Amino acid sequence: MIITIDGPAGAGKSTVARQLAQRLGFTYLETGAMYRAVALAVHRAGISPSDEAALAALLPRLRLRWQDGRIFLADQDVTDLIRHPQITELARQVADSPAVRQYLGELQRQIGQHTHLVTEGRDQGTKIFPHADCKFFLTASPEVRARRRWEELQRQGFSFTYEEVLRQQLERDQRDAQRSLAPMHPAPDAILVDTSQLTVEQVVDLLEAHVRRRLPVQGIALIP
Ligand code: DC
């Protein structure tokens, strides 16, 4: 069974997807971490994110691995390194590359072949798993999303102002929605959830209820 959770940055996808997967006993996949790990590798290799040929040559050598909620490059756990704002910016550029999108899309589908999955990103319900059993699109107001991101940056020790974070986020939203390759939009059959006024627990409860309603149809036994 495949459950997809898409939506913009700051909508709360990662936390919700991780907790939902835990409740159901499914594997959790954070596809943004894959784009970020490629960005880190691109940074280390000194390649331009717009050099398609260099990216295509780099990808098969990465040994990118997602395991138990952590992301690895070769055998190095880079889960924490990829949260740096510089990598966030580079990941956005790397995500525009057709070679990268194709490579990571295949990797994501391979993971989905072997396990029940809760996967989150921007294109999981639209491009990667169009036949997913249950699709969600999480949103929240730009102000709420920027505040969540700002609080996360504060915790990490970065001294951006809230206004800066909000401005950057609005720019990023616009680019995500307008890019020609895999623009972000809800799948027609996705359930839209606005998380602005909800706690994480309330969102997970809501999604879990939707999924469990589908289960008799799927005939899948879940953790009670
Ligand atoms: O969710 P995030 O901020 O960790 O994602 C990092 C970047 O990767 C962001 O610019 C959006 C992009 N991304 C994407 O294009 N498709 C996905 N499925 C996941 C992330």
| Measured distance between the N- and C-terminal CA atoms of the chain, rounded to whole angstroms | 16
221 within domain boundaries:
no
State whether the beta carbon of 49 lies less than 6 angstroms from ligand 1. Answer: no
DSSP-derived secondary structure letter, 115 = S
pLDDT tens-digit readout, 105-135:
999 999 999 899 999 999 999 999 999 999 9
If DSSP codes are grouped into helix, strand and coil, which group holds residue 89? helix
Q: How far apart, in whole angstroms, are the C-alpha atoms of residue 33 and residue 18?
A: 13
212 within domain boundaries:
no
State whether the beta carbon of 37 lies less than 6 angstroms from ligand 1. Answer: no
Report the run of H or E that residue 191 belongs to, with start and end: strand 191-194
Pocket test for ligand 1, best of 122, 156, 180 (most atoms within 8 A of CB): 122
58 within domain boundaries:
yes
Q: What's 202's domain CATH number?
A: 3.40.50.300
Q: What's the confidence (pLDDT) of residue 224?
A: 63
82 neighbors 39 (Cβ within 8 angstroms): yes
223 within domain boundaries:
no
218 within domain boundaries:
no
219 within domain boundaries:
no
Alpha helices in 25-72 (DSSP H): 31-45, 52-58
pLDDT tens-digit readout, 56-109:
999 999 999 999 999 999 999 999 999 998 999 999 999 999 999 999 999 999
- Is the model more confident about 61 or about 174? 61
Q: How far apart, in whole angstroms, are the C-alpha atoms of residue 159 and residue 138?
A: 27
224 within domain boundaries:
no
Task: Count structural domains, the chain.
Answer: 1
State whether the beta carbon of 32 lies less than 6 angstroms from ligand 1. Answer: yes
State whether the beta carbon of 122 lies less than 6 angstroms from ligand 1. Answer: yes
**Residue 23: CB partners within 8 Å, gap ≥ 6?**
204, 208, 223
If DSSP codes are grouped into helix, strand and coil, which group holds residue 5? strand
Range of the domain at 76: 2-206
CA-nearest residue, atom 20 of ligand 1: 32
Q: How far is the CA of 114 from the centre of ligand 1 (A)?
A: 23
How does residue 9 score in pLDDT terms, banded at 50, 70 and 90?
confident
215 within domain boundaries:
no
Beta bridge partners of 150: none
